[in-house]
Amino acid sequence: MSLIVMKFGGSSVGTPERMQRVAQRIIERQQEGNDIVVVVSAMGDTTDDLIEQSKLLNSNPSAREMDMLLTVGEQISIALLSMTIEASGGKAKSFTGWQVGMKTDSVHGKAKIVEIQPERLQEALKLGYVAVVAGFQGASEAGEITTLGRGGSDTTAVALAAAINADICEIYTDVDGVYTTDPRVVKNARKLDEISYDEMLELAHLGAAVLHPRAVEYAKHNNVQLVVRSSFTKNEGTSVKEEAIMEQGVVVRGIAFDKNVARITINGVEDVPGVLANVFGALADNGIDVDIIVQSGTQNGKADFAFTLASGDKDKAISVIEGIKDIVPYRETISEDNLVKVSIVGAGMVSNPGVAAKMFATISSLGISINMVSTSEIKCSCVISAEKLNEVVVALHTAYGLDATEQAFVGGPSERR
């Protein structure tokens, strides 16, 4: 007997027919002699629909009330799925985040898990129930309902698996595993049998949407055995583990890309100690994450530097920078959209020279300029113009020997949460 956590995303339970199929799959796993905990997201586009409804009534609602609203989506899912399991001959009991002891901090909209007290969930398992848990949500010490932000249901599943010492945590999504890149862009992308936590974490941070970075971090920290599988097929998935077997001759494991990129350049800044600390400290205080930072050389005591950030944060970042001009004088700011970040990732990069050079040569052979570069031991990222992103990804996929002999992708619409 195994203790298994199964997480299903919004598209997996998006229709009554899909929910029935998920329920049957859950019952089959339980009938094999396993204890089952299920974590689900809101059905289909429920969350987006709730957000749109809120905008019709209040253009600037409080974060607390948005959390109250958005957690309804998951509560609908857990109740309906539990009913479906019962109708299919199984036993199920649904739980909200706070009912399974999901304690978080008090930051509405992107709360972090503080601890889990799973006694109520464990009691249900002892009585033979499938425990169906709402993902994406918890409660603060003050009893306020909170949400965990994007990827919150993945994080809920992994955190619960760690808290109850589950044997495995299975993430069911619309693809049947982790691919070398997005199969919608590269038709002959290959599914990986396994990938290391570190490689998966880099891919997730760099734009691969199959797993959320926080969930991977939690799995790595707690050594949770993680498998990504399709909710539409019964194909073997991809195992995410501490160390993955290196394929012969394969240095790059995968290619990720992020279309949500903007760049801000600040020109004519005084080249004195503390300038960068003042600028990026102010951005951090306003909840703005910055990615790649490049400072050019100084001239006449002045320096220029540029950084990338999420496109949606661009206007807010410019406002913050303008607000500190009396502390950090500068000549001008320039902002740019229509940029993307494309990245190669692989543990083998650390011991193989020339990997980044091949990336630069491949991109330049397409007549594309590289605007910014960022590297680590296992990744190299380039910021380029968005127009030829797909062409670049296809070329890099071939250049690093990642092409499959035939298309193997099976899936549906992309998951939301």
Overall average pLDDT of the 292-299 stretch = 86
* N residues, the chain: 417
Instruction: Identify each DSSP E strand in 9-112 by its residue range.
Output: 35-40, 92-95, 102-104
Residue 381 near residue 207 (C-beta atoms within 8 A) = no
Q: How confident is the model at residue 405 (pLDDT cuts 50, 70, 90)?
A: low
pLDDT band at residue 249 under the 50/70/90 scheme: low
Please write the tens of the pLDDT for every residue from 69-114: 999 999 999 999 999 999 999 999 999 999 999 999 999 998 999 9
pTM of the model: 0.84
CATH second-level architecture of 251-401? 2-Layer Sandwich (3.30)
* pLDDT tier, 407 (very low <50, low <70, confident <90, very high otherwise): very low
Confidence (pLDDT) at 239: 95
The tokens for 391 are 């062409």
Band (pLDDT 50/70/90 cuts) for residue 228 is very high
Check residue 104 and give its pLDDT.
Answer: 97
Residue 250's pLDDT is 76
CA distance from start to end of the chain: 30
How many Å apart are CA 368 and CA 250, to the nearest integer?
A: 25
Task: Identify the pLDDT of residue 414.
Answer: 42
pLDDT score of 51 more than 60: yes
pLDDT of residue 299: 82
Please state the rounded mean pLDDT for residues 302-314.
Answer: 94
Question: What is the spatial distance between Cα 69 and Cα 119, in angstroms, rounded to a whole number?
Answer: 27
Q: Which of 20, 90, 4 is nearest to 12 (CA)?
A: 20
263 or 297, which is more confident?
263
For the chain, what percent of residues have pLDDT higher than 90?
A: 82
Collapsing DSSP to helix, strand or coil, 401 comes out as: coil
Fold matches, 3-241 and 251-401: no
Q: How far is CA 33 from CA 4, 126, 234, 246, in A?
A: 11, 13, 18, 34
Both structure tokens of 76: 């609908």
Evaluate whether 405 touches 188 at the Cβ level (below 8 Å): yes
| pLDDT score, position 413 | 38
Distance separating alpha carbons of residues 179 and 202, to the nearest angstrom: 14
Contacts of residue 184, Cβ cutoff 8 Å, sequence gap at least 6: 409
Computed over every residue of the chain, the mean pLDDT equals: 92
Q: List the domain boundaries for the chain.
A: 3-241, 251-401
Q: Which helix (H) or strand (E) holds 69?
A: helix 63-87
Residue type, 202: E
User: Could you tell me what percent of the chain has a pLDDT over 70?
Assistant: 95
CATH of domain 3-241: 3.40.1160.10
Name the pLDDT band for 195 (thresholds 50, 70, 90).
very high
User: How many Å apart are CA 279 and CA 328, to the nearest integer?
Assistant: 7
Of residues 411 and 194, more confidently modeled? 194
> Stretch 266-292: mean pLDDT, rounded?
93
